[in-house]
Each structure stands twice: as structure tokens, then as C-alpha cells.
């Protein structure tokens, strides 16, 4: 990404990652930044306040919402079930939800839902815009599907791209029915416990009620302004995953370089489905000039309430950066910082 108009990051070839972090701190960054390679943390910094009301500082193990990167995590869970022979990305979803409307059930597949090319309208967003109070209302999954994921298709599946949160309500309903347990329980069984993640999981409602979580703020100065955006349980796949920077590095390493997924499923996760959007399954894959060469990266961004996050991982050589923020820091600046930090990981090898 190009540098934002009011922030010019020092040249990575002349500056260390720590100098970049110091500049970000001076510019108002509040959160955690990590650089690593493979599963190894090469540098990590915790800056600012996690909970202003209780005087809790950010630490390297502070937990943050990751917003839409939760869809990438959800894709990993789906692919684990694919690896176990329980799901097929290209089967009509009516196979898994026999009570779902038959016409859509015969036309939709998990692949189309997971790459936002299903044609399923974003009815959950429309409902929230019409009635903001509906944001925090919990619903049983069958009722959530009926209200928000059963609309007439806006286009033939696979022909267009439309970022619809309703896709993931339907994916979650399938996963919970076929997996035989709630989505939070599946995340715990398939990801958290096998990988030894210490600060990760699924929340519902206001994330600030979760132990160890940062509070999301619209701003911290001149006075703290909390900015919660509750996520009901039926939308856990859309934005309900929380994690720390070290845990996120562990997860990305296990998924993209380890044996958490089969080689076939890892390929599915990183294959672009919708080229105009660089969109794969639950996240983006982009090529960018990094470290003096064009490289292919897992390109993750997310936001919810006062939380902002950016994560990048070079697929070929495992250079990784994670930036987590809980004070609505400018998204462009956060992306610029992540890009500059990633550059520092190549300095010694030039």
C-alpha cells in the first residue's frame, strides 16, 4: 500500500522494526505489533492501554477482536471437516441442510458462500441498518438462517462477487449441524487445543466481557470513548474470533506451513476464486513488491467497533507481520506500518 498522506515511514533498509514501532507510538498506535518468520517471533511490541477504565496496559498476550479475518479462521474449520470427509466444498448445500429452501439449496455450495460469489443477499446488514437495535439480539441458528440467509439469489452463483455476511450465517449453520456441536466448541476442538493456543477463541455479545480482552475505543484522547459492536452467536464466523498476536502467528504458521490441513485443503485456502477481488476462501491472496521482489502473500484485514487488524504472510518463505489495534487507528496507517515492518524482515538477507 502507498504511504498515507500524513505519515511517511522510514526506509526499512535503514531502520529497524523497533524504530518503526517508536514512530507508530508517537503517531498514536495503541496495540501490539509482531514480526516473525515461520513460527518464530523475531520482534514484538505492546503499546498503550487495553482497558482505560481499569488501568490495564496492553501486553503481548492481550486479546483482540480480528473482525473479518474470522472468516479466514472459519474457512480453516470448514476445510478441517473437508479433510475428515464430512463436507464437500462443491456439493449442493441442500445435502447438509435438508430443511433449507430447496431452490437455493440445490444451487449454492460452500465454495460459493465462502468466496462471496453465491448471490445470497446481505439481508443481515439490511436488517441492522433498518433497526440498529437488532445488532446484539441473539437468535437460534435456524431462525437466523430463516431471517437473514434465505433470500432470493441476486445473481447466478459464481458470476459476481458481493461481500455478504449472510453467506457465513449459512456456512455456520452447516458446520454446526454436520460437526455435531456449536461453532465455538468446534474451534476449540479443531484449532485451539491441538495448537496449544492460549489466548484465542470465540466470543459472543460484547467482547470486553471476555477475560484478557482489550476494550475497543473510538478514541483514547482526550478521553476514552468505548466503541463496542456486539457480535451475536449466530454471526461468530463473520467476526467472532479473538486472539493475541503470538497465537495468530502460531495459527497462521500451522495452517499455511504446517500440517493442520492436508496439502489439498491448504491449496484450496490459498487459491484465488474471484480474481477481481483477489479473494480466495475467507480471505485474500495478493502479489506485492516485498523485500526487493514480487511475492505472493496471505493478505488479511479486519475491523469491528474500535478494533483494527492487519496480518501479512509471504507464502513462499514464511515472513510474517501481525498488527492489532483497539483504538480505531487509521486503517491506511495500520496497513502502511504492516508493510514497512514486513520489509524489515528482509533487510539482513539482502
* Distance in angstroms (rounded) separating the CA atoms of residues 326 and 226: 10
Long-range (24+ apart) CB contacts under 8 A made by 89-95 are 89/114, 89/268, 93/170, 93/174
pLDDT by 10s per residue, the chain, length 350? 333 333 333 444 446 899 999 999 999 999 999 999 999 999 999 999 999 999 999 999 999 999 999 999 999 999 999 999 999 999 999 999 999 999 999 999 999 999 999 999 999 999 988 988 888 899 999 999 999 999 999 999 999 999 999 999 999 999 999 999 999 999 999 999 999 999 999 999 999 999 999 999 999 999 999 999 999 999 999 999 999 999 999 999 999 999 999 999 999 999 999 999 999 999 999 999 999 999 999 999 999 999 999 999 999 999 999 999 999 999 999 999 999 999 999 986 44
Residue 49's φ and ψ, nearest 5 degrees, are: -110, 130
Domain 17-86+182-349 fold is: Beta-lactamase (3.40.710)
User: What pLDDT sits at residue 348?
Assistant: 66
Q: Determine phi and psi for 196, rounding to 5 degrees.
A: 65, 35
Torsion of CA 277, 283, 287, 290, to 10 degrees: 140
**Whole-angstrom Cα distance, residue 269 to residue 306?**
28
**Residue 350 pLDDT:** 42
Q: What is the SS3 assignment for 172?
A: helix
161 close to 214: Cβ distance less than 8 angstroms: no
What pLDDT score was predicted for residue 203? 98
Element (H, E) at 242: strand 241-243
pTM score: 0.95
C-alpha separations of 222 from 218, 219, 229, 274 in Å: 11, 8, 22, 43
**Radius of gyration, alpha carbons of the chain:** 20
Q: What is the pLDDT of residues 326-346, one digit of tens each?
A: 999 999 999 999 999 999 999
Q: How confident is the model at residue 135, as a pLDDT?
A: 82
Distance of CA 303 to the CA centre of its chain: 8
Instruction: Give the model confidence (pLDDT) of 89-108 as tens digits.
Output: 999 999 999 999 999 999 99
* Alpha carbon 236 to its chain's center: 11
- 243 with 255: CB under 8 angstroms? no
Distance between CA 175 and CA 162 in Å, rounded?
22
Q: What is the mean pLDDT of the chain?
A: 94
Compute how many other C-beta atoms are within 10 angstroms of the C-beta atom of residue 6: 9
CA-closest candidate to residue 65, choices 337, 332, 336, 301: 301
Q: At what angle do helices 166-179 and 141-148 cross, to 10 degrees?
A: 150
Q: What are phi and psi of 332, to 5 degrees?
A: -65, -45
- DSSP code of residue 54: T
Q: At what angle do helices 141-148 and 123-130 cross, to 10 degrees?
A: 90
Please state the separation of Cα 251 from the chain's center in Å.
12
Q: What pLDDT is recorded for position 339?
A: 96
Instruction: Tell me the C-alpha distance between 11 and 227, whole Å.
Output: 34
pLDDT digits (tens, 9 = 90+) for 194-231: 999 999 999 999 999 999 999 999 999 999 999 999 99
The pLDDT tens digits of the residues spanning 160-171 come to: 999 999 999 999
The pLDDT score that the predictor gives to residue 302 is 97
Amino acid at each position: 500500500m502507498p504511504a498515507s498522506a500524513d505519515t511517511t515511514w522510514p526506509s526499512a533498509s535503514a531502520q529497524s522494526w523497533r524504530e518503526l514501532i517508536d514512530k507508530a507510538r508517537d503517531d498514536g498506535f495503541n496495540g501490539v505489533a509482531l514480526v516473525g518468520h515461520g513460527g518464530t517471533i523475531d520482534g514484538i511490541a505492546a503499546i498503550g492501554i487495553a482497558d482505560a477504565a481499569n488501568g490495564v496496559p496492553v501486553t503481548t498476550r492481550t486479546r483482540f477482536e480480528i473482525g473479518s479475518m474470522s472468516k479466514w479462521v472459519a474457512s480453516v474449520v470448514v476445510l478441517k471437516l473437508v479433510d475428515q470427509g464430512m463436507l464437500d466444498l462443491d456439493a449442493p448445500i441442500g445435502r447438509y441442510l435438508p430443511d433449507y429452501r430447496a431452490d437455493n439449496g440445490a444451487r449454492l455450495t460452500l465454495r460459493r458462500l465462502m468466496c462471496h460469489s453465491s448471490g445470497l443477499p446481505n439481508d443481515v446488514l439490511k436488517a441492522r441498518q433498518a433497526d440498529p437495535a437488532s445488532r446484539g439480539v441473539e437468535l437460534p441458528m435456524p431462525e437466523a438462517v430463516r431471517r437473514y440467509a434465505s433470500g432470493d439469489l441476486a445473481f447466478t452463483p459464481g458470476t459476481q462477487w458481493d461481500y455478504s455476511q449472510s453467506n457465513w450465517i449459512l456456512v455456520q449453520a452447516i458446520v454446526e449441524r454436520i460437526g455435531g456441536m456449536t461453532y465455538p466448541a468446534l474451534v476449540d476442538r479443531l484449532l485451539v487445543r491441538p495448537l496449544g493456543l492460549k489466548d484465542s477463541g470465540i466470543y459472543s455479545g460484547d467482547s470486553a466481557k471476555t477475560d484478557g480482552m482489550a476494550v475497543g475505543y473510538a478514541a483514547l484522547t482526550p478521553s476514552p470513548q468505548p466503541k463496542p459492536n456486539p457480535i451475536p452467536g449466530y454471526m461468530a464466523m463473520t467476526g467472532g474470533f479473538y486472539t493475541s498476536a503470538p497465537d495468530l502467528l502460531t495459527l497462521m504458521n500451522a495452517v499455511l506451513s504446517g500440517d493442520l490441513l492436508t496439502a489439498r485443503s491448504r491449496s484450496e485456502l490459498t487459491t484465488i476464486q474471484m480474481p477481481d477481488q483477489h479473494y480466495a476462501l475467507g480471505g485474500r491472496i495478493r502479489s506485492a513488491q516485498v523485500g526487493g521482489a514480487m511475492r505472493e502473500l496471505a493478505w488479511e484485514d479486519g475491523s469491528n467497533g474500535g478494533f483494527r487488524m492487519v496480518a501479512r504472510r509471504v507464502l513462499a518463505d514464511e515472513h510474517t507481520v501481525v498488527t492489532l489495534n483497539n483504538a480505531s487507528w487509521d486503517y491506511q496507517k495500520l496497513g502502511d506500518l504492516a508493510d514497512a515492518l514486513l520489509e524489515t524482515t528482509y533487510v539482513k538477507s539482502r
